[in-house]
Amino acid sequence: MADIQHQCDVLIIGSGAAGMTLALKLSKSLRIMMLCKEDPTEGSTYYAQGGVAAVLDEYDSVDSHIDDTLVAGAGLCHKDVVEFTVKRSAETINWLVDLGVKFDTRTQSDGSEEFHLTMEGGHSHRRVIHAADATGKEIAETLSDHLARNDNVTVMPKYVAVDLITRDKVGLKGQDVVGAYALNLSTQQVELFQARFVILATGGASKVYLYTSNPDTASGDGLAMAWRAGCRVANLEFNQFHPTCLYHPDAKSFLITEALRGEGAKLILPNGHRFMPYFDDRAELAPRDIVARAIDHEMKRIGCDCVYLDISHKDEAFISSHFPNIHARCLELGIDMTREPIPIVPAAHYTCGGIVTGKDGTTDLPNLYAIGECSFTGLHGANRMASNSLLECMVFAAAAAEHINAQGTALDRPINIPPWDETQVTNSDEDVIISHNWDELRRFMWDYVGIVRTDKRLQRARRRIQLLQQEVTEYYSHYRISNDLIELRNLILVADLMVQCAIRRKESRGLHYTLDHPSMQQNAADTVLTPPSYG
């Protein structure tokens, strides 16, 4: 039985834009610990290419950004949350600029410099500020550099959170969250972290699908832990598939930013014919759900493995300067995007639903917060508009920090929490079960709970999930845990929650498209699931 215990004021699980922004916004008097699975910058933020949506141009307006977000969200956005977020977009960008984030600029006719803003799907104005095609990398590295200078923050890489600890789970009164157990990947020992406040900034769950643009860390850990602890989740049927991921055997999870389409790239079939105008008047600049379904439809219609994205009609210097990372990566794979189209397919990209929170990141459980992609704020509705995600991370991280700072700095008197007990388990000699179940889960989620769904496919997925849950629960009870087992356990639970939400929605809306219910109902309502018990 390992008995390594840590104590802090604030425990942040996750080190993306949301987690790092929170840490930087919290009072310097707070002792903060931040757990991350890999290196601090290894997460979805680092790989975000497009940029941050914000109202920065004199020809743009807050009302226009709000309206575009509401339209993309297909009637399910919470308007007050959209307003809350968009109204804070400019100050968020100013904060990043003050920290030293180097966004792209352009020279005006009078010789002065202004930010270069690009266009993306769903937006009616150029309002996406970016750093070439590696905005997330620039933001993540800048935030990480500042975090390294904060003496009150201890960043702890190679840790995977296992479960949250509530007072009632350790024999005390109340459901307050008091800490978490986490697996130290270096020692393979589970350690105890006790904290006054715990923040889930764990990202989404797109790894539940076979094809995804996300890094391997996106395994729904925060969602699963929050549900097991007693938090509601909502709208998990809305899984955004990015329309354009590079299709190549050596290009795992490589995203082709939507900004290419914003700058004039066209989607074409293998025979060179353009097809998006047949599906939507906005063509390539339609919201992501429409573009992804159109690509899926055309691939199935003609039986092709991929379609193509063509920006070769643009000047070579323009392409290489605006999209240097994509250009370089394509060249590595033998594709010259300045002269030929890029082969692409849709891939799971963003989890629009999540843990139900307030505008300050608070959840159903006292002292537990959720921010970023793992949360459900009501901002995205049935379909996230491009480049609103990084904005959401930072706006709600700042709001959560303000809420925590207002509650004082002193750590409550430590309580007696038992260490992780491994006395009843042994080392596994059947790890093949994990790999087989992992592969099966991701394949049937792609086939049955993908871009286009049916009642039969959803029910088939639910039955398979229930069988996998039984196997993994038994395995979890008898063997020492590992990173793969933790992630598989979490992904199976999140997959079940996704399917439950999808079964309940008897309509097609935004990212949830079902052949059995193709129409949109008149009244829009969130799908909210409540845990059966807190045991």
Active site residues per annotation:
288
Residue 401 token pair: 């920090």
Q: What own/partner pairs with CB < 8 Å and gap ≥ 24 does 432-436 have?
A: 433/471, 433/475, 434/475, 434/482, 434/484, 434/485, 434/488, 435/484
The residue with tokens 């339609």 is: 286
DSSP-derived 3-state class of residue 412: coil
Residue 286 token pair: 């339609």
Which string of b and e fits 507-530 if b means at least 16 CB within 10 Å?
bbbbbbbbeebeeeeeebebbebe
Residue 31 token pair: 């002792």
Length of the chain: 535
| Dist. CA 205–CA 215, nearest whole Å | 10
Of 463, 528, 17, the closest CA to residue 234 belongs to 528
Amino acid letter, 159: Y
> What's the distance, CA 280 to chain centroid?
27
The residue with tokens 């109202």 is: 55
**Largest Cα span, the chain:** 74
Q: Cα dist. 115→47, 97, 127, 326 in Å?
A: 21, 11, 10, 21
The residue with tokens 């999140």 is: 494
Of 495, 144, 482, the closest CA to residue 353 belongs to 495
| Dist. CA 444–CA 457, nearest whole Å | 9
